[in-house]
Structure 1
Amino acid sequence: MNFLATCRHFFSIAPIFFSAAAMADVNNTLQKAELARRVDALFSAYAADSPGCALGVILNGELVYKKGYGNASLEFGVPIDPEKTLFAIGSTSKQFTAAAILLLVQDGKISLNDDIRKHLPEMHNYGTAISVDQMLSHTSGLRDYTVLMTMGNGVREVDYSSDADAMAVILRQRSLNFAPGSHYMYSNTNYFLLAKIVERVSHRNFGKFLQDRIFQPLGMHHTRLRDKYDVVVAQRAMGYAPVGGGGFSMKDVNWEQVGNTGVLTTVSDLTKWDQNFYESRVGGEWLVKQMQENAVRSDGVALSYARGLIVDGAYRGMRSVHHAGDTAGFHAQLLRLPDERFSAMVLCNVDGVDQTLLSFKVADLFLAEEIKKRGATASNQTAKDAVIAPAGKTMSSESQLASYTGVYLDRYAQSLHTIELKAGQLWYIAPQRERVALEQSGEQRFRLPRKTENTFQFSKQDKRQLLNIVYRSGEPVELDRVRPIQTDYIHLEDYTGTYFSPEINVHWTIVAKDGKLFKQVQREATKPMNPVFEDAFTVTVDDQDLLRFTRDSRQRITGFIVDNPRVLNVVFSRERSGVQID
């Protein structure tokens, strides 16, 4: 009997549950008490006086392991119960929205190729169609409303926000991140609007649709949609955040948008949903297949995102299906390894948890024998690149190599990549990584020797110097060479002033103090800005914004463009002259 067949026969120690069938024939190579000790050690930080997590493990269709660690409510000392405690699962909700859309496709009420304006005619006409399917795969180009709503106006997840607030900012947008289908960029706007389409087509409240078509048919009797911030929900866990010096503060979700988020569920109920991917009770085999079909960009590049799920080989090369969720005070992950008939659910009610890493570590314990057979590496985490010595001879002259050097910007990730020349050898420096030698593999083409399958292709387009990096996944990323900072010529007063963006309806003020620029917006602390290349700054602390200032023909600053990992090309125009901090 192999390990996977015997794992389902593990033991029970209160309050951990194992089925009666799982009591027999325990694998001798990993004793039951030792397994429990190792699992408990992963969650040892969550004790009786802290919030924590619920864990569930499924093998061969059985929930063989479930346990609660910590409290669902610190105020009332209510421990987490994996059977009954409801957690907000954030973006893990997206798979239910995708399933709802596919059920309507089966009903013949919508098509995956429908232009979204067929169902949401109030949407701005961007001059190109955006399909329902592009929204499902995050290739629509629609900007993320959650970023737009928090970009420079001090709104937080714990503040109240209604559907109307979200729709208002979505309808103000006049540009896309990119042409629909041409790129992947995660955006909550896609799934928020998909829920609206479900409501309009089905003539039912989205939560009612999920109950009628998914939750009740699968026996997910505890699961529900929370679309009102003040509704009382029995057995619901409260969200928390650690406080410096000890203790916790309350941090709960007060946004009412759903589709991209909003599902409350338990470990036990998620087990029933997980089983549907094997039994196909809801939607049949077609729906299950469609949800796990990887999206393809318009240029033919396959993506790891499918429909509401990520499908890849992220776990030691095994085929994995997963989607994490993060929302105020909550973290969730449902990891499925379908070929091993293994799933791990980690639901937490405290900030600072890496729920995905925890799910992988749980898999490490339960699939130890299978991993050993595969000869997998000890960690699924990408190690920090070491310096690799040059290998082989280059085919380009040193002057040609020198023409490739410089700093390149990936605008989609707001990351800077550096190419250097040293002793006739090109070196690559990725963000927060060590220098790695490049080996030439063709004309203007390079690779990382003995390291990865990543390739580097240099080219010119008009006046642009480009670097295309094709990662092992097959997805190419285009980077632009940017002009380096001339620190001796930076005049901070050129940039100071007040700027306005009509698309997000906010003002930003740029001020100067002690030789640095700072960003000031309402309800936020003043944040320092760091120059990264000519006329471009990043906002430090917790922002991910890249500001690229624009100039007129007389070289006067006229505004700036903001890029963010989920929002590109938000234009701010200058309103008045500079301001100086006292």
Structure 2
Amino acid sequence: MKWLLIGGLMLVPPLVRAQNSLDPAAQQAIDKIFSEYGHAGKPALAVAAIKGGKLVFQKVVGQANLEYKVPATADTRFHVNAQAWEFVAFAILNLEDQGKLSLSDDVRTYLPEVPDFGKKISINHLLSSTDGLYSYSGINALTGSRSKEVDQVGKIPDYIKHQKRLNFAPGEVFSVRGDTRFVLLKKIVEVVSGQSFEAYSKAQIFDPLGMVNTIFLAAPNPSLENLATPYALDGSGKYQLSQGEGNAAGMMNLYSSLRDMTTWRQHVRSHKLASKLQSPLKLDNGAPIRGMAGVSIYGQQHFGQERGIPKTFQAGSFGGYTSVFFGFPGHDMTVITLGSGGGYNGRYGMNVAYQFLPGAFPEPETIDYTKIEGVKMSPAELQKYEGKFWNAKASVASVLHMKGNVLHYNRVGGAVHNELIPLSDTVFQMKVEGDDTLLLKFVEGKHGRQMHYSVTGSDPMVFESYRPATYSKSELAQFTGSYFSKELNTSYEFEENQGVLSARNLHAGSVSFEPVHADLFHGNKAFLSGVQFVRKNGVVTGFQVMVDGVRHLEFRKLRS
């Protein structure tokens, strides 16, 4: 077989397959997994497993189009925005390897339209989601828009041009909602390569690998050839068309097939950049990024645990499309799941992985909480932990409360109440489905009790206990009125109704608020979950949005 090197990529032959070595019991288990998916009158579901660089499993079921009863195949295209992030990172790292840029370069070297915030934002800050720029999806939610603006070569989004202040100092904080960074990374590739990102990807990545069904588009294209139609279940249990609104987060629309994604995973595992793609992202102080969610390696995937062994993970959805990628680096295995039926579909791929890695997982699929040796605590002792807790970084409010004689956790306004098992007088384990270990650890901080929330070894999410500020109806009146953001050209109307403060925007809808501290309110919508009112001479003059992805964005109060 002749191999050809093009643009740093090895031109590979068709999929390399391995002989299926599953025993009858494992094969029967996999058959059962897909029989549970149901009859042929369902949207497409495509799963592949690669082990040791070879395709060991491939299964495609369902219809690419329900109306015309078109069966899905390994070459059916899906919207795969989760994988788009890795291709952007790969392009940047490939250009670095070629000596055409450095990760330490200031982004303004290539994109001078990015404002000078007085602190350098490097390419590495973009890759690690520590740049401090406003979130694309967060801004869209605040303005109530689902941008249909076509991504243009060299054009920086207006909201970045108008941003006055960074969310945080670059390199000091990780933002799980950072997605504007991909827009800028794409632009940097375009400036350095002299091509649109779509053209660069096609010429330097997709074509050399024979990925004929993979394409980046500036905007979604429902008419793309050989594309699975996206659906989602309605309230009556019937599938309805679900195209998704606007552009995918980060203005990236990647379409690909199961066959092409398999080709990519087979190729990249042995590429000279493979080690870098698997390397941990870090803050400027050298601390690795180990959040409960979000990216944690240069390949733009999350690194965590699955039943006691290391796992990489990336998932995304757009309309009815869902894509999930699992990797088990210790076993040289990757599982791909693509679908067009809405909802999370990763369990199909994960269950396939379980069958191909027998004995590899030291922990069960689901934690047996009856076997956890907790400590005995009286209701009176448990009641001492009741109260509300606030995470200022993400503007998340949680509450601990007694239900019967058992302590429970839930998000303020949430419907799910999770039982807490005391492991000691300061550590509790939360009862959840699955294999993740959720721990709450209580410590005394400078401003009172803190609750450290962690998931299977992640860095903790720190909550501070608080007693909600109280306001009468007349006192809430000082916060009512019209507020305008010059940066976004967007306004909100704040109102008081029966002792509750709320805000409404014609496009974004209505948000209700509860007080946290004086002048600080928690909203019931993620894009306004934290609002800090600003005063001058004791009079309310505006507010700042304080959420992960958009911080310090100011709205000024208009005179009535």
Q: TM-score, normalised by structure 1?
A: 0.79
- Residue identity matched to 1:76: Y
Paired with 1:326 and 1:565, the residues of 2 have a C-alpha distance of 20
Q: Which letter does structure 1 place at the counterpart of 2:531?
A: R
Distance in structure 2 (CA, Å) of the matches to 1:21 and 1:438? 46
Q: Percent identity?
A: 25
Describe how 1:385-534 pairs up with structure 2 within 5 A. 389=375, 407-417=388-398, 431=411, 432-435=417-420, 437=422, 439=424, 447-448=427-428, 455-460=441-446, 467=450, 469=452, 471=454, 473=457, 475-486=459-470, 491-534=475-518
**Partner in structure 1 of residue 60 of structure 2:** 68
Q: Which residue of 1 aligns with 2:23?
A: 27
Counterpart residue number, 2:260: 269
Match of 1:37 in 2: 31
Quote the residue 1:290 is aligned against: 276
Residue 555 of structure 2 aligns to a residue whose secondary structure is: strand
Query: Superposed, which structure 2 residues align to 1:190-205 within 5 Å?
Result: 190-205=181-196
In the alignment, does 2:106 pair up with 1:125?
no
1:370 and 2:359 matched: yes
Paired position in structure 1 for 2:106: 115
Residues 514, 248 of structure 1: CA spacing in aligned structure 2 closer, same or farther, 3 A cutoff?
A: farther
Q: 2:47 aligns with which of 50, 55, 78?
A: 55
How far is 1:236 from its partner? Answer: 1.4
The Cα of 1:117 is off from its aligned counterpart by 0.8
Deviates more, 1:92-101 or 1:412-421: 412-421
Residues 109 and 565 of structure 1, relative CA distance in 2, 3 Å threshold: same
Instruction: Report the counterpart of residue 211 of structure 1 in structure 2.
Output: 202
* SS in structure 2 of the partner of residue 163 of structure 1: coil
Q: State the alpha-carbon separation in 1 of the partners of residues 551 and 314 from structure 2.
A: 24
Taking a change above 3 Å as real, the CA distance of residues 500 and 316 of structure 1, as seen in their structure-2 partners, is: same
Q: Structure 1 residues 518 and 481 mapped into 2: Cα distance closer, same or farther (>3 Å)? A: same
CA distance in structure 2 between the aligned counterparts of 1:358 and 1:172, rounded to whole angstroms: 44
1:386 Cα offset (Å): 9.5
CA distance in 2, matches of 1:554, 1:378: 58
Partners of 1:505 and 1:573 in 2: how far apart? 11
SS of 2:252 mapped into structure 1: coil
Q: 2-side partners of 1:488 and 1:387: how far apart?
A: 47
Task: Work out the CA distance in 2 between the residues paired with 1:176 and 1:466.
Answer: 30
* Cα distance change on mapping 1:301 and 1:249 into 2, 3 Å: same
Alignment of 1:172 with 2:162, yes or no, is yes
Deviation of residue 110 (structure 1)? Answer: 0.4
Alignment check: 8 A CA contact 2:180 2:250 kept: no
**Is residue 355 from structure 1 mapped to residue 345 from structure 2 by the alignment?**
yes
In the TM superposition, 1:149-188 aligns within 5 A as 149-151=140-142, 153-156=143-146, 160-163=148-151, 167-186=157-176, 187-188=178-179
Structure 2: state its 5+ residue gaps: 1-14, 291-295, 412-416, 431-436
Match of 1:87 among 75, 78, 86: 78
Cα deviation for residue 96 of structure 1 reads: 0.5
Cα distance in 2 for residues equivalent to 1:98 and 1:390: 50
Number of matched residues?
A: 519
In structure 2, do the counterparts of structure 1 residues 554 and 130 end up closer, same or farther at CA, with 3 Å as the change threshold?
Answer: closer
Aligned to 2:394, the other structure's residue is in SS state: coil
User: Which digits, 9 at most, give the CA deviation of each residue in 1:69-104, with x for residues without a partner?
Assistant: 3322234332222x2111111132100000000110
For residue 510 of structure 1, report the CA deviation from its aligned partner.
Answer: 1.6
1:64 and 1:475 map into 2 onto residues whose CA distance is: 35
CA spacing shift, 1:417–1:340, aligned 2, 3 Å:
same
**How far did residue 553 of structure 1 move?**
5.6
The answer to whether the Cα contact below 8 Å between 1:136 and 1:307 also exists between their aligned partners in 2 is yes
The aligned counterpart of 2:546 is 563
Farther-moved stretch of structure 1 (185-194 vs 314-323): 314-323
Q: Hey, what's the Cα distance between the residues in 1 that align with 2:362 and 2:89?
A: 36
Are 1:379 and 2:369 matched, yes or no?
A: no
Contact map agreement 2:167 2:552 (CA 8 A) in 1: yes
Q: Is the 8 A contact 1:160 1:255 kept in 2?
A: yes
Give me the CA root mean square deviation: 3.6
Would the aligned equivalents of 2:151 and 2:219 in 1 still touch at CA under 8 Å? Answer: no
> What's the offset of the Cα at 1:21?
5.6
Cα gap change, 1:500 to 1:528, in 2 (>3 Å): same
Q: Deviations over 1:516-542 (max 9, x none)?
A: 3332212344444444554444433x5
- Distance in 2 separating the partners of 1:220 and 1:273: 8
Separation in 2 of the partners of 1:174 and 1:77?
Answer: 52
SS class of match (1:571): strand
Structure 1 residue 297: deviation in Å? 1.7
Say which structure, 1 or 2, has more relative contact order (CA 8 Å, 6+ apart). Answer: 2
| Distance in 2, Cα, partners of 1:271 & 1:522 | 44
Segment drifting more, 522-531 vs 465-474 = 465-474
**Paired residue secondary structure (1:491):** helix
Q: Structure 1 residues 550 and 365, CA, compared in 2 at 3 Å: closer, same or farther?
A: same
Aligned partner of residue 208 in structure 1, secondary structure:
helix
Tell me the equivalent position of 2:535.
Answer: 552
Deviations 1:454-486 (A, max 9, x none): 6544332xxx55737384636254444545232
Cα distance in 2 for partners of 1:245, 1:453 equals 37
Alignment correspondent of 1:443 = none
Distance 1:507 1:55 in 2: 45
Counterpart Cα distance in 2 of 1:292 and 1:520: 44
Q: Distance in 1 between matches of 2:30 and 2:127?
A: 39
Query: Given that residues 149 and 169 in structure 1 are in contact (C-alpha distance below 8 angstroms), is that contact kept between their aligned partners in structure 2?
Result: no
Structure 1, gaps ≥5 residues long: 1-17, 393-397, 422-426, 441-445, 578-582
CA drift at 1:246? 4.0
| Aligned residue type for 1:297 | L
SS in structure 2 of the partner of residue 331 of structure 1:
strand
